[in-house]
């Protein structure tokens, strides 16, 4: 009986990465597929890379937000990690993840009014993912197994856009053999009830702007949530008079945000390391773009003595690693009047804000759930330069 009691743990909250947190006398334990408030029995607790981890072998008392996952592959497929939480609980957990990161890594006070008003905007929790990349096997499309380098055959997916369902079942057999050979990667994008598989260009309208990109390249995977986030960003843009103003679009991808800027921004300095994405950015942003193909640190190095014009705005949308160190330093010195940071990782966002706040004041923070049923989270932060 004593041994059983020693194996019982109460899950306190969800951490970045989607793990539940509990504690014992030796410190923190990370638990996979846990829910806040769960009382669980854990198996052997193992330390890997300095982190203690445990797996649930029995749920003694489920937390108030725990639900039955609708997907039969949940826990086997590595695509989702929060299906066992109600969607309301998912949004609450993501809000707390963002808030906790801003306090721990960003140096924000727990009493900061920005944190009191913090919210994560939700979206349809099912059938809302438009973009996938599947691994083709002899039996059909597959995704990676959870915690493994092996794959698992996927015949249906509750988070996928409805147009993807027939492809997963048997529609993949109608594609050319060269695209479905075992070992091939199969990128998909579903929009407007149509499925684009394997290759080809797409044309979509986001916040009133027509954009083109390649199905094999990166584009946000949730169009409904992207529309909401894009309109929010447009509303954050500063009002500028006249024409001839300039803006930065760093880590621009296919030029989504640069393309959404109003005509008063006659020059958009767009930086992107992926040359194929930058080709589409040239098309989407148009002749007002000043394009740089290469890593951000190389672009920063070239700015010594260069003029960026009447700069009013900077938009940065980095990968999960956050802003390049050279760019953080450059922005703190540049003090662009308005800076909008679009982040896909709350921890690296918070780290970057800790440095940027020496030169900028944070005006607003809002989260957007572009990846329901997973721990992933987009955040939009508006900053304004502080005078010297």
pLDDT band for position 381 (cuts 50, 70, 90): very high
Q: Tell me: pLDDT of 1 over 50.
A: no
Which residue's entry shows tokens 């014009």?
A: 309
pLDDT band for position 250 (cuts 50, 70, 90): very high
What's the mean pLDDT when you consider all of the chain?
Answer: 94
Q: Tell me: pLDDT of 144 over 60.
A: yes
pLDDT band for position 350 (cuts 50, 70, 90): very high
Q: Tell me: pLDDT of 11 over 50.
A: yes
The residue among 338, 335, 294 whose CA lies nearest residue 315 is 338
- The values of phi and psi at residue 258, to 5°, are -60, -35
Alpha-carbon distance 267 to 264, whole Å? 9
pLDDT at 67: 98
Q: Tell me: pLDDT of 5 over 90.
A: no
Q: Tell me: pLDDT of 177 over 50.
A: yes
pLDDT band for position 348 (cuts 50, 70, 90): very high
pLDDT at 6: 65
- In order of 30, 102, 119, 307, the CA distances from 349 in angstroms are 22, 8, 16, 27
pLDDT band for position 4 (cuts 50, 70, 90): low
Buried b / exposed e over 56-79, threshold 16 CB at 10 Å, is: beebeeebebbeebebebbeebbb
pLDDT band for position 305 (cuts 50, 70, 90): low
pLDDT at 3: 47
pLDDT band for position 7 (cuts 50, 70, 90): confident
Alpha-carbon distance 51 to 370, whole Å? 28
- The values of phi and psi at residue 55, to 5°, are -115, 145
Q: Tell me: pLDDT of 160 over 90.
A: yes
- In order of 55, 71, 101, 198, 346, the CA distances from 20 in angstroms are 10, 20, 15, 36, 17
HEC string for 294-317: CCHHHHHHCCCCCCCCEEEEEEEC
pLDDT 10s digits, 197-214 = 988 899 999 999 999 999
pLDDT band for position 238 (cuts 50, 70, 90): confident
Q: Tell me: pLDDT of 242 over 90.
A: no
| Residue 356 exposed, middle or buried by CB count within 10 Å (0-12, 13-18, 19+) | buried
pLDDT at 239: 79
pLDDT at 244: 74
- Residue pair 384/363 in contact (Cβ under 8 Å)? The answer is yes
Of 48 and 111, the structure prediction assigns the larger pLDDT to 111
- Tokens standing for residue 140: 């059909």
pLDDT band for position 308 (cuts 50, 70, 90): confident
pLDDT at 139: 93
Q: Tell me: pLDDT of 29 over 60.
A: yes
pLDDT at 306: 67
HEC string for the chain: CHHHHHCEEECCEECCCCCEEEEECCEEEEECCCCCCCEEEECCCEEECCEEEECEEEEEECCCCECCCCCCCECCECCCCCCCECHHHHHHHHHHHHHHHHHHCCCCCCCCHHHHCCCEECCCCCCCECEEEEEEECCEEEEEECCCCCEEECCCCCCECHHHHHHHHCHHHHCCHHHHCCCCEEEEEEECCEEEECCCEEEEEECCEEEEEECCCCCCCCHHHHHHHHHHHHHHCCCCCCCCEEEEEECCCCCHHHHHCCCCEEEEEEEECCHHHHHHHHHHHCCCEEEEECCHHHHHHCCCCCCCCEEEEEEECCCCCCCCHHHHHHHHHHCCCEEEEEECCHHHHHHHHHHHCCCEEEEEEEEECCCCCCCCCEEEEEEEECCC
pLDDT band for position 215 (cuts 50, 70, 90): very high
pLDDT at 64: 97
pLDDT 10s digits, 83-142 = 999 999 999 999 999 999 999 999 999 999 999 989 999 999 999 999 999 999 989 999
Share of the chain above pLDDT 70, in %: 97
């Amino acid at each position: 009986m004593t041994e059983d009691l020693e194996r019982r743990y109460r899950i306190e909250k969800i951490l970045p990465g989607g793990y539940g947190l509990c504690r014992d006398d030796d410190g923190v334990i990370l638990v996979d597929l846990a829910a806040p408030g769960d009382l669980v029995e854990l198996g052997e607790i193992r330390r890997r890379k300095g982190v203690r981890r445990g797996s649930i072998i029995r749920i003694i008392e489920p937390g108030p937000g725990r639900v039955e996952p609708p997907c039969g592959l949940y826990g086997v497929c590595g695509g989702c990690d929060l299906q066992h939480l109600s969607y309301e609980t998912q949004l609450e957990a993501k809000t707390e993840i963002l808030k906790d990161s801003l306090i721990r890594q960003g140096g924000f006070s727990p009493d900061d009014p920005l944190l009191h008003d913090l919210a994560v905007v939700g979206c349809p929790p099912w059938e809302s993912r438009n973009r996938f990349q599947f691994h083709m096997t002899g039996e059909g499309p597959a995704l990676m197994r959870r915690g493994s380098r092996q794959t698992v055959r996927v015949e249906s997916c509750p988070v996928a856009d409805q147009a993807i369902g027939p492809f997963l079942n048997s529609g993949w057999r109608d594609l050319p053999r060269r695209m479905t050979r075992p070992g091939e990667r199969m990128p998909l994008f579903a929009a407007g009830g149509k499925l684009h598989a394997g290759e080809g260009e797409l044309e979509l309208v986001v916040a009133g702007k027509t954009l083109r990109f390649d199905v094999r390249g990166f584009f946000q995977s949730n169009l409904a949530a992207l529309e909401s986030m894009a309109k929010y960003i447009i509303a954050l843009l500063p009002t500028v008079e006249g024409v001839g103003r300039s803006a930065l679009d760093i880590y621009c991808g296919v030029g989504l945000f640069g393309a959404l800027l109003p005509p008063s921004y006659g020059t958009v300095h767009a930086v992107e390391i992926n040359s194929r994405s930058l080709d589409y950015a040239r098309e989407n942003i148009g002749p007002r773009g000043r394009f740089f193909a290469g890593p951000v640190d190389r672009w920063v190095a070239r700015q010594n003595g260069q003029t960026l014009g009447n700069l009013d705005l900077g938009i940065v949308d980095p990968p999960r690693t956050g802003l390049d160190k050279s760019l953080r330093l450059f922005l703190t010195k540049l003090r662009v009047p308005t800076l909008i940071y679009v982040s896909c990782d709350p921890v690296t966002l918070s780290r970057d804000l800790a440095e940027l706040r020496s030169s900028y004041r944070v005006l607003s923070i809002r989260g957007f759930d572009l990846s329901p049923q997973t721990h992933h989270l987009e955040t939009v932060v508006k900053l304004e330069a502080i005078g010297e």
